[in-house]
Amino acid sequence: MKIDTIALHAGYQPGNGQPHVLPIYQSTTYDYDSSEHIGKLFDLSVDGHMYSRISNPTVACVEEKIAALEGGVGALCTSSGQMACMIALLNILSAGDHFISAAAIYGGTINLFAVTLKRLGIECSFVDENASDEEVEALFRPNTKAVFGETLANPALAVFDIERFARLAHRHGVPLIVDNTFATPVLCRPFDFGADIVVHSTTKYMDGHAVQVGGAVVDSGNFPWDNGNFPGLTEADESYHGVRYVHDFGKKAYIVKARVQLMRDFGAYPHALSAFLLNLGLETLPLRMERHCKNALEAAKFLESHEKVEFVNYPGLEKDRYHALQQKYLPNGCAGVVSFSLRGGRERAVRFIDSLQLASNVVHVADIRTLVLHPASSTHRQLTDEQLAGAGITPGLIRLSVGCEDLSDILADLEQALAKA
């Protein structure tokens, strides 16, 4: 099936007389005939739902759809994108371990990596994604367990060279984890370029309507976890009477462990209603992405040609430094987010933002409606100047999330606000 069809049909195929639309199974638990069967569920020797902190039938259908969209063997939905990043890493890293991350990533993820994971004894080295192979190689240590990057960085809009970083990670026997939130599988499927794990903030385009926060971890099933670097996946898990994930679950070892061990212990599982809403968003994801890409490219061209605009970041523009990588990784478009700076810096940026009438000034991105945000005073407020520069953010940078309205209305709004700025 092609991606538009997967978005509509994967995960839930009703049988004779069953509801046409994915039902909301609003239940904490599930009935079984015997204690013996429940015992087997706890031993992971049979499949089935037992408690909605670990799995739920509505959420499971959406997980199957997301896995199909990305071309993976399985997915785990989480209560937020942040939790997806956290679980993706903690599934394979423990205190004393180290990982490498691209510097141009979402501000919240930088905090998670640089502050909270550090408190747990896990160290992260940030690297400019334009660094040479040698510079990246120099960051690997004997305890390095993963490499992380965003397909299309929020909000720097740097395109991550997935194939190159996958090659570097694999040379050191560790997986590449890619946050594919902005690209979505409609525009890029990181597994096709060698990524091993994909994470999402489903809060963004996947949901697309700004109705709920959520995340997902997707497993390609391709990484050889039995290469000696990941004992947690090959040795007996005492909390499951000696289950050995690679031995017992093969290609799904990573995603099964993430669910039955970490989700069991953290309990950051989405509600059935959230999954139902996410599913509605996923159904129209390919349609919406087409419009977001088209509108954003035109908005970027308009801004690029305006005399008050200092620079525009949008890899779809021919002059953009990431244009060549965009042609390789995002040939059908690079989503709806454009970042740009006005001549005159922060003050003019704020005047411009406050003059917009159609675009909403909100702390969100990738909504069906056009949104605008000033990262330096909001999402990236906690970062040091050095971290800001690393994430590609200047004090006057404006993040515009171009929606699905009629293009002429979006351009008219930008034009009138620029006149007042």
Ligand X SMILES: *Cc1c(COP(=O)(O)O)cnc(C)c1O
Torsion of CA 285, 278, 71, 220, to 10 degrees: 140
- Residue 106 in the binding site for ligand X (CB under 6 A): yes
Question: In the window 121-150, what residues touch ligand X (CB under 6 A)?
Answer: 150
- Residue 151 in the binding site for ligand X (CB under 6 A): no
Instruction: Supply φ then ψ for residue 176, to 5 degrees.
Output: -100, 125
What does DSSP say about strands 123-127 and 309-313: parallel, antiparallel, or unpaired? unpaired
Binding residue count for ligand X, defined by CB under 6 A: 16
Instruction: Supply φ then ψ for residue 341, to 5 degrees.
Output: -130, 140
**Among residues 152 and 256, whose Cβ is nearest to ligand X?**
152
- Residue 401 in the binding site for ligand X (CB under 6 A): no
- Residue 108 in the binding site for ligand X (CB under 6 A): yes
Q: 403: closest CA among 232, 272, 289, 285?
A: 289
Question: In the window 214-233, what residues touch ligand X (CB under 6 A)?
Answer: 215
State which of residues 203, 261, 341, 401 lies at the interface with ligand X (CB under 6 A): 203
For the bound state, the minimum distance from the C-beta of residue 358 to ligand X, rounded and expressed in Å, comes to 22
**Among residues 246 and 366, whose Cβ is nearest to ligand X?**
366
State which of residues 57, 81, 232, 270 lies at the interface with ligand X (CB under 6 A): 81
What does DSSP say about strands 176-179 and 144-150: parallel, antiparallel, or unpaired? parallel
For the bound state, the minimum distance from the C-beta of residue 137 to ligand X, rounded and expressed in Å, comes to 26
For the bound state, the minimum distance from the C-beta of residue 81 to ligand X, rounded and expressed in Å, comes to 2
For the bound state, the minimum distance from the C-beta of residue 108 to ligand X, rounded and expressed in Å, comes to 5
Question: In the window 165-194, what residues touch ligand X (CB under 6 A)?
Answer: 179, 181-182
Which amino acid makes up residue 172? H
Map residue 287 onto helix, strand or coil.
helix
List the alpha helices (DSSP H) in 173-284.
184-187, 231-234, 245-249, 253-257, 264-266, 272-283
* Cα maximum dimension of the chain: 73
Q: Which residues contact ligand X by CB under 6 A?
A: 80-82, 106, 108-109, 150, 154, 179, 181-182, 201, 203-204, 213, 215
